[in-house]
Structure 1
Amino acid sequence: MMTSRVPAAVDALLAILTAAPAFAEVDVVDGPAAVNYTRLKRLYVGWQPTSAAAVSLTQDFNAAGARTRDEAFAIACYAEARAGDTVMKDRRDEVFALVGEVETALRATNSAPTAPTLNGAVLWAHLTAGDLTQAQEEGSLAGLAFTVTCQARI
């Protein structure tokens, strides 16, 4: 018996993002980083630098009879852009462009009609929150912690 759609949703989100042409030059990372990546743009799924939770979820019965349950969850994600210069505007623009491409990848298109459902893993998914951080650490860095919120039926 399936107890959660979280594993399937995270797997589907990773598959959608790694297949998106917009992320060809971006390290799409499953969870926290385990190695030192060389690309200056990164996208983490299931990890944020300021949160211990990869996914937060709640479940409840959807109707009398307790045959099915509704599940709501938020997948923690983090986008990062860095460079050796000190121009924050460029990093900020780059990180918001990265998250914009995530939002685009989650929209239905003729070639990807099931993207908003994470290819059938959930009823729907969309971006719902974000926090921008900026730093000067061996150059400029902008990070955007955001959530992909999902609704599923189990």
Structure 2
Amino acid sequence: MQTSRVPAAVDALLAILRASPALEGIRIVDGPEAVNLTDRHRIHVGWQPGDSAAVSLEQSWNAAGARTRDEAFSISCYAESRSGDRDMAGRRAKVFEIVAAVEQALRATNDAPEAPTLNGTVLWAELTAGDLTQAQSEGSLAGLAFTVTCQARI
């Protein structure tokens, strides 16, 4: 018996992002990773800087009879774009381009009709929140912490 759809949903989100042609050349990381300045563009799934929760979840009974439960959860994610120059506008535009590709990867298409359900692991998933950070240190960096919110039935 399943007690949560979180593990399957995180795995499916990683698979969808890694298979997305629009994200080719972007490093897709499962959780946190040591800083690697050679990777100019990356997405972390299940991690945001300064946040200790990879996923936040809530469950409740679906109906009387206690046969199924509804589960709502949010997967913490982080996209980053960095370069050795001082072009902050370029980094900001690139990080929003990366997150737009994530949002597009979560939409149903003829090639990926199950994308909004994370390949059938949840009822639906969508990108719901974001926070932009910017820094100038050995070049420019723009990061966008975002959340993929999901609804499931277990």
The TM-score, its normalising length taken from structure 1, stands at 0.98
Q: Does 1:19 align with 2:54?
A: no
* Separation in structure 1 between the aligned mates of residue 90 and residue 38 of structure 2, nearest angstrom: 19
Post-superposition offset of 1:39: 2.1
* Separation in structure 2 between the aligned mates of residue 36 and residue 146 of structure 1, nearest angstrom: 21
* Separation in structure 1 between the aligned mates of residue 128 and residue 50 of structure 2, nearest angstrom: 17
The residue number in structure 1 matching 2:30 is 30
The residue number in structure 2 matching 1:94 is 94
Q: 1:20 to 1:63 in 2, by over 3 A?
A: same
Post-superposition offset of 1:37: 5.6
Runs of 4+ in 1 over 6 A off after TM superposition: none
* Separation in structure 2 between the aligned mates of residue 35 and residue 145 of structure 1, nearest angstrom: 16
CA RMSD across the alignment: 0.9
Q: Is the partner of 1:94 in helix, strand or coil?
A: helix
* Separation in structure 1 between the aligned mates of residue 132 and residue 30 of structure 2, nearest angstrom: 21
* Separation in structure 2 between the aligned mates of residue 83 and residue 34 of structure 1, nearest angstrom: 18
Which runs of 5 or more structure 2 residues have no equivalent in the other structure? Answer: none
Q: Is the partner of 2:18 in helix, strand or coil?
A: helix
Task: Provide Cα deviations, 1:8-29, integer angstroms capped at 9, x if missing partner.
Answer: 0000000000011112111100
The residue number in structure 2 matching 1:77 is 77
Instruction: Return 126-135 or 32-41, whichever deviates more.
Output: 32-41
Aligned-residue identity in percent:
73
Task: Provide Cα deviations, 1:38-59, integer angstroms capped at 9, x if missing partner.
Answer: 2200000000002000000000
The residue number in structure 1 matching 2:117 is 117
* Separation in structure 2 between the aligned mates of residue 44 and residue 98 of structure 1, nearest angstrom: 12
Q: Is the partner of 1:104 in helix, strand or coil?
A: helix
Q: Aligned partner of 2:44: which letter?
A: Y
The residue number in structure 1 matching 2:54 is 54
Q: Is the partner of 1:49 in helix, strand or coil?
A: coil
Which runs of 5 or more structure 1 residues have no equivalent in the other structure? Answer: none
Q: Is the partner of 2:76 in helix, strand or coil?
A: strand
Q: 1:83 to 1:35 in 2, by over 3 A?
A: closer
The TM-score, its normalising length taken from structure 2, stands at 0.98
The residue number in structure 1 matching 2:104 is 104
Post-superposition offset of 1:35: 6.1
Q: Aligned partner of 1:15: which letter?
A: A
Q: How many residues align?
A: 154
